[in-house]
Amino acid sequence: MFLNYSGRTHVDSVPDAPAIEIHDLHVRYDAKQGEALSGVSVTIPASARVALIGQNGAGKSTLLKTLVGLQPYSSGSVLIFGRNVRACHHRVAYLPQRGEIDWRFPISVRRFVLTGRYVHIGWLRQPNAHDHALVEQTLERLNLASVADRLISDLSGGQQQRALLGRAIVQESELLLLDEPFNNIDPETRLLITRIVAELKALGRTIIVATHDLSRLREEFDYVAVIHDGTIAAFTDAPSYAAAPAELAL
């Protein structure tokens, strides 16, 4: 079934399909550089929390950007809930690294979170009562209601990270991709993000988190994907990785 979605055409997901199916994926930024991703193949089940781990430059961010459609790929295939990634941008919410955002842009926290709804309403239509109510609920959920009218540039690093998460949450997407959300944040924000991820999983969402924090993989994730030199070196359940990390190490 085809859906007219914010002025673009998309398709329904395939029933019972995995959240992500990647086969022999290759990504090259330009002809002079080597491949950023080389022969990536992995299947990720729906309704799972996945830690994507690997050294700096291994390809974590590139893989997430490819899944959300921001990074073209040279060859291979990417299916999101059984459909081509190019038809599924509305099913995927992406939280970039905080350093990739220009926080000097003069926008309030409330308006910043509201931009997550534009995938549903488009840029030319006005948000309705449901959109505004969802934003207010999300601000409360992330302890941002008291700073909702402040500029995003005035927030602390942890508050900015929560605002990014809020923008992703209000998209109501089935798949969330979080790029290094635990970097340089306070313990309260770290705990809050972990709780939100668990709540989203309970609602049937699939969440992939690129992270360098390996201290609580068993407690906070269902699966671990290890990326090394641009390919998936291992994909296993979190308890197995926690029990034998050296055997699955980078």
Looking at the chain, the whole-number percentage of residues with pLDDT higher than 90 is 75
Which residues 6+ apart lie within 8 Å of 140 measured at CB? none
Residue 175 confidence (pLDDT)? 96
Number of neighbours of residue 9 by Cβ within 10 angstroms: 9
- Distance between CA atoms of 29 and 3, rounded to whole angstroms? 32
Per-residue pLDDT at 174 exceeds 60:
yes
CATH class of 47-69+89-243: alpha beta
With pLDDT > 70 as the criterion, what percentage of the chain qualifies? 93
Distance of CA 46 to the CA centre of its chain: 14
Mean pLDDT, range 82-100, rounded to an integer: 87
State both tokens at 141: 């959920």
The mean pLDDT of 122-130, rounded to a whole number, is 85
Element (H, E) at 201: helix 187-202
**pLDDT tens string 196-235:** 999 999 999 999 999 999 888 999 999 999 999 999 999 9
pTM, 2 dp: 0.90
State residue 90's pLDDT score.
Answer: 78
Residue 154 banded pLDDT, cuts 50, 70, 90? very high
Helix or strand holding residue 43 (H, E): strand 35-44
